[in-house]
């Protein structure tokens, strides 16, 4: 049986084939789910084109997460269409340019608030709007959000990082309030990927380069599949007892306090060769 057989999943934030959200939608279909996407504003047509590249073309509903009327409208559409909702992917973020790229101290309050509302508060907004549908899921509904480790300060990330910290806190409060109603809320903290959002961050390449030095498992900036698979697990019944969690899918970067020094890497390689080479003692 497939991981998401007969599950009904709403996926937000699909803009390109390289996005995590697109990979989640594609993999969800491959694992037996029925998927609906959401788009917004000028990006709506892009999402509609991308939807045709999925294994089965998905419908796209217009949704501005900052508009209560649109949240109500999409929830009503899914109620009519499905009557319940098994999973929801939150892949939405927006930070004005004057609140990124080393502008932490000069960012105006309105930009910080805009970042918080769209990138963090929207998780609560989606959860509230779709809760009645998620409660009706057979086996429990699941909310999964995309995160970037907010336990430390990053170069250039500025108010995006503050918004991710808020997202992590909101996830915990959602776990508290939704758990008794049979709905889970979890985040996946991904390593850096070459996405549309990343392209808007000045200094992204310098930040991403740290993963080449510090991720024990290595890391590809162009492969969202490991992140998507973790999202699928959290959306599936296999994660039925997990909520309030942050799963790191970053090659192990977060577990190290500093990069492996070159001598240590060389010693590790030598030890590995000694252990695997036949005839050596």
Average pLDDT, the chain: 92
- Classify burial at 34, counting beta carbons within 10 Å of its beta carbon; exposed 0-12, middle 13-18, buried 19 or more: middle
Provide the pLDDT for residue 210.
87
Provide the pLDDT for residue 270.
61
Region 179-185: mean pLDDT is 98
In the chain the domains, ranked by start, together with CATH numbers, are 8-276 (3.40.50.720)
**Predicted confidence (pLDDT) at residue 278 exceeds the cutoff of 80:** no
pTM attached to this predicted model: 0.90
Helix (H, G, I), strand (E, B) or coil at 183: strand
Closest CA to 66 of 106, 12, 18: 12
Q: Is the dihedral of CA 83, 86, 89, 90 positive or negative?
A: positive
Could you give the CA distance from residue 201 to residue 241 in angstroms, rounded to a whole number?
A: 36
Catalytic residues: 157, 164
DSSP state of 117: I
Whether 18 contacts 222, CB under 8 Å:
yes
Task: Identify the residue with better confidence: 111 or 208.
Answer: 111
Region 14-42: mean pLDDT is 96
Window from 110-114, 133-137, 216-220 with minimum mean pLDDT? 216-220
Provide the pLDDT for residue 281.
39
Angle at 200 between CA 196 and CA 201, to 5 degrees: 120
**Predicted confidence (pLDDT) at residue 206 exceeds the cutoff of 50:** yes
Provide the pLDDT for residue 267.
58
| CB contact set of 221 (below 8 Å; sequence gap of 6+) | 192, 193, 194, 208, 211
**Predicted confidence (pLDDT) at residue 21 exceeds the cutoff of 50:** yes
| 271 pLDDT tier (thresholds 50, 70, 90) | low
Region 152-169: mean pLDDT is 96
Task: Identify the residue with better confidence: 279 or 101.
Answer: 101
Helix (H) or strand (E) holding 59: strand 59-62
- Classify burial at 113, counting beta carbons within 10 Å of its beta carbon; exposed 0-12, middle 13-18, buried 19 or more: middle
Percent of the chain with pLDDT over 70: 91
């Amino acid at each position: 049986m497939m991981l998401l057989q007969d599950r009904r999943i709403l996926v937000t934030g699909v803009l390109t084939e390289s996005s995590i959200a697109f990979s989640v939608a594609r993999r969800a279909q491959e694992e037996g789910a029925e998927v609906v996407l959401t788009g917004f504003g000028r990006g709506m047509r892009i999402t509609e084109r991308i939807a045709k590249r999925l294994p089965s073309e998905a419908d796209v509903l217009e949704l501005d997460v900052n508009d209560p009327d649109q949240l109500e409208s999409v929830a009503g559409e899914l109620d009519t269409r499905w009557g319940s909702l098994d999973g929801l992917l939150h892949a939405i973020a927006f930070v004005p340019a004057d609140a990124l790229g080393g502008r932490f101290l000069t960012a105006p309050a309105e930009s910080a608030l805009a970042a918080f509302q769209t990138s963090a508060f929207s998780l609560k907004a989606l959860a509230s709007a779709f809760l009645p549908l998620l409660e009706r899921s057979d086996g429990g509904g699941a909310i999964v959000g995309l995160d970037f480790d907010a336990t430390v300060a990053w170069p250039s990330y500025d108010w995006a990082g503050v918004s991710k910290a808020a997202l992590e806190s909101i996830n915990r409060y959602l776990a508290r309030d939704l758990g008794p109603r049979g709905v889970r809320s979890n985040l996946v903290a991904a390593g850096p990927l070459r996405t549309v959002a990343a392209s808007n961050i000045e200094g992204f390449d310098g930040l991403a380069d740290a993963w080449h030095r510090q991720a024990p498992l290595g890391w590809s900036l162009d492969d969202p599949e490991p992140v998507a698979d973790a999202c699928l697990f959290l959306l599936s019944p296999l994660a039925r007892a997990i909520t309030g969690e942050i799963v790191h899918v970053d090659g192990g970067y977060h577990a190290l306090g500093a990069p492996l020094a070159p001598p240590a890497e060389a010693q590790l390689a030598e030890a590995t060769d000694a252990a695997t080479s036949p005839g050596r003692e």
